[in-house]
Structure 1
């Protein structure tokens, strides 16, 4: 077996195409990274924290965020956790230079 490949810190599936759960998580990380100007690792951490605080699987939280990007609708409890997580990570990020 070769070295384990990783995508945004998540183990990559054995096939060349990631499964629906990994795709949703990667898309949600991209959304969080774009909105908050974070690194991919920080975006993943935001999703993980929301998942833990909301007591939902990370895949489900990711699907909600991806759907929010499409429709503009997100449950207020998840939105609040997302905004707080992004703001916290953005303030912890070191200044460039």
Structure 2
């Protein structure tokens, strides 16, 4: 059984966040969850907007600010490798 469009969008958005911020996948999911909670937008819709922004280069400012802040916070909390 193939995952539905919402799950595919979430997985793609997690991949984008992980790539942009150098985070682990679970941190990427937490970023989406946090944005969803703070913007009152369903996680699948946040994910769809992030995926679309990877294509268009445009992301709504409310989501963009939360995304940048959440990624930066998690990147600074991540332990150094070694």
Distance in structure 2 (CA, Å) of the matches to 1:93 and 1:41: 12
Instruction: Give deviations 1:30-59, integer Å, cap 9, x for gaps.
Output: 000000000000000000000000001000
Counterpart in the other structure of 1:33? 18
- Aligned pairs (5 A) from 1:63-78: 63-78=48-63
Distance in structure 1 (CA, Å) of the matches to 2:36 and 2:70: 11
Structure number with the higher helix fraction is 2
SS in 2 for 1:67: helix
Distance in structure 2 (CA, Å) of the matches to 1:66 and 1:31: 7
Counterpart in the other structure of 1:4? none
Considering Cα pairs closer than 8 Å and 6+ residues apart, tell me whether 1 or 2 has the greater RCO.
Answer: 2
- In the alignment, structure 1 segments of 5+ residues that lack a partner are 1-14
Counterpart in the other structure of 1:52? 37
Q: How many Å apart are 1:92 and its aligned residue?
A: 0.7
Q: TM-score scaled by structure 1?
A: 0.84
- In the alignment, structure 2 segments of 5+ residues that lack a partner are none
- Structure 1 ranges of 4+ moved more than 2 A: none
CA RMSD in angstroms comes to 0.4
Q: TM-score scaled by structure 2?
A: 0.99
